[in-house]
Structure 1
Amino acid sequence: MKFPRVARLDDTDEHVYELAAQVGEPAVPGSFVYTFSDEDPVNLEGKRKQAFRHGFLGVESFGVATVVTVAEMSKQEYKSVIERLAHHFVDAYGAPDLESALPFAREEAEYAVSLCEHEVNTLLALERAVDEEGIHEAFKVVKPQANWQGTEVKIWKIEEEG
């Protein structure tokens, strides 16, 4: 089966997010982070705003990544992703127990799988927005550029907050 994994084009994620996900770890869109939050996404600023707008959620570190790649995953690893997400729902979001959290974790994992109807190694980016109707996600395929061969590519300009 195919599943998103964290990828990086440069070290930008280390500077843009409070906690950057690690390259190669499985990732999900993770909008539940904002759905379950008491904080209104409209009021987010700085690194938290960037994570909301563009971030996938790594399932091992629970850090954030700007891009993911479509990759192969074994059924056992997929099962582990669901279990890890369920534990996270209990530990971080107050789900009453694993049994209650598993259906939601499975749904998030299935959603991540649905994004992978592309060739292996296809890069995906996320654009997330919020309005009065709720949170909306749009996914884009990142097309490689000719100059990406063997060079570091800067896609963001890093500016200090404040």
Structure 2
Amino acid sequence: MTGLKLPRTIRLDPSDEFVFDETAAPGEWAISGAFRFWDRDMQALAGKERQAFRSGLLGLSSFGWSTLVVVTPASQAEREAAVALLARQLVVHLGAPDEATAWAAAEEEIAFAASLCDHPENTLLAVQRSVEEDGIRERFRTLKKREDLVQHSRAFDIVTLEDNDDGDAAEAVDLHALMRGPT
């Protein structure tokens, strides 16, 4: 492995199915995909299309959107396959004038996607897009588990009370012992 990493779509819950019209399947190689909005009237974007603009990352196989991607090791062969797939998608979905033009654009997009993965493996990435005076602005965030959060107990737990010598269930409950859990 050469240390190459690329983003893959990931779905932690079913929300992408409700947020986007076109959704990426989990596990697809992914890119920013902002170019899908280059010729659009940003003021006219509404609903799911607007949400795709604001926070969607583009899956290469489906050409659908994902809210999150995960930094994943990739081989050189997987990178080349991702470039080829994106080039084909640019011709099919966006009318690139020829394969050579599509290939050059795909190389650039995959290189940018790889540059986003300068993080440890399994780091989650998200994007936030906005329109500013000079064009579309993208801000990428990393999402990490906070280690300083207190782990909470479940609201309900089944507790077994031991019988006393009379065969009756014990009536005294030691709440402190219950909170500590089984020893």
TM-score tier by shorter-chain length is 0.7 to 0.9
Structure 1: stretches of 5+ with no match in the other structure: 149-162
Give per-residue Cα distances to partners, 1:90-121, cap 9 Å, x unaligned. 11222111012111110000000000000000
In 2, the alpha carbon distance for the partners of 1:141 and 1:94 equals 33
Q: Which residue of 2 aligns with 1:27?
A: 30
In 1, the alpha carbon distance for the partners of 2:60 and 2:70 equals 14
**Per the alignment, do residues 13 and 147 of structure 1 end up closer, same or farther by CA in structure 2, a change over 3 Å counting?**
farther
Q: Which residue of 2 aligns with 1:61?
A: 62
Q: Which residue of 1 aligns with 2:51?
A: 50
SS of 1:68's equivalent in the other structure is: strand
Give per-residue Cα distances to partners, 1:34-71, cap 9 Å, x unaligned. 11x3x212321000000000000000111100000000
Moved over 4 A (4+): 145-148
Q: Which residue of 2 aligns with 1:7?
A: 10
In 2, the alpha carbon distance for the partners of 1:56 and 1:75 equals 22
> Root-mean-square deviation (CA), in Å?
1.5
TM-score, normalising length from structure 2? Answer: 0.76
In 2, the alpha carbon distance for the partners of 1:40 and 1:52 equals 11
Paired-residue identity, % = 43
Higher RCO structure (Cα 8 Å, ≥6 apart) = 1
Letter in 1 for 2:132: D
SS of 1:15's equivalent in the other structure is: helix
Q: 1:147: how far off?
A: 8.7
TM-score, normalising length from structure 1? Answer: 0.85
SS of 2:33's equivalent in the other structure is: coil
Give per-residue Cα distances to partners, 1:73-102, cap 9 Å, x unaligned. 111111111111111111122211101211
SS of 1:96's equivalent in the other structure is: coil
In 2, the alpha carbon distance for the partners of 1:137 and 1:93 equals 21
Of the two, which has the highest radius of gyration?
Answer: 2
In 2, the alpha carbon distance for the partners of 1:143 and 1:78 equals 25
